[in-house]
Amino acid sequence: MDAKDRMILSLLQEDSTISVKEVSEKIGLTFTPTYERIKQLEKQNVIEKYVAILNREKLGLNIIVYCNIRLKEQSQKTLEDFEKHIESFEEVQEIISLSGEYDYMLKIIAKDINSYNDFAVNVISNSPNIWQYHSSIALHEVKKSTKFKLD
């Protein structure tokens, strides 16, 4: 990956709807090599997919919760069973396996505190092999980005 590829990626991270023509003008290449570079980045899965980032608050999704999970045991099957179960819920935005005190951290989006409580009681506490969970409710998002720093 060279500087032109990083420039392309930087532009697409800012706005994935930008046309190839606009990208080519901004990076100083003609249309065809720019198009080929983008296709190559897609083929290599450097660009995994294009999405629309929605405003969750305008959709009535007002609560962000980070939920730390401890399982009763950490066998490979237990971990896989938990992951398979919990990833099926759309409220769960991210599942991160951790080292240290907790086994997982979940990022959960809910309409309100009552919706989250229902999710915690009916889903999290009934998930396979749950020993303990701890919820932290986000008060304010100071920085929210999907852009990676590209050197």
The model's pLDDT over 4-61, given as tens digits with 9 standing for 90+, comes to 999 999 999 999 999 999 999 999 999 999 999 999 999 999 999 999 999 999 999 9
This prediction has a pTM of 0.87
At residue 112, the pLDDT reads 97
Residues 69 and 96 both lie in one domain? yes
Residues 133 and 83 both lie in one domain? yes
Residues 73 and 124 both lie in one domain? yes
User: For residue 144, is it within any domain?
Assistant: no
Residues 66 and 36 both lie in one domain? no
At residue 151, the pLDDT reads 81
User: Which long-range CB contacts under 8 A does 115-123 form with residues at least 24 apart?
Assistant: 115/63, 116/63, 116/65, 119/89, 119/91, 120/67, 123/86, 123/89, 123/91
pLDDT in tens, 93-139: 999 999 999 999 999 999 999 999 999 999 999 998 999 999 999 99
pLDDT in tens, 57-95: 999 999 999 999 999 999 999 999 999 999 999 999 999
* d(C-alpha 23, C-alpha 89), whole Å: 37
At residue 47, the pLDDT reads 97
Q: What is the domain range of residue 9? A: 3-43
CATH number of the domain within which 25 lies: 1.10.10.10
User: For residue 142, is it within any domain?
Assistant: no
Q: Provide the 8-state DSSP code for 31.
A: H
Domain tally, the chain: 2
Residues 65 and 113 both lie in one domain? yes
Residues 39 and 69 both lie in one domain? no
Residues 23 and 88 both lie in one domain? no
Residues 95 and 118 both lie in one domain? yes
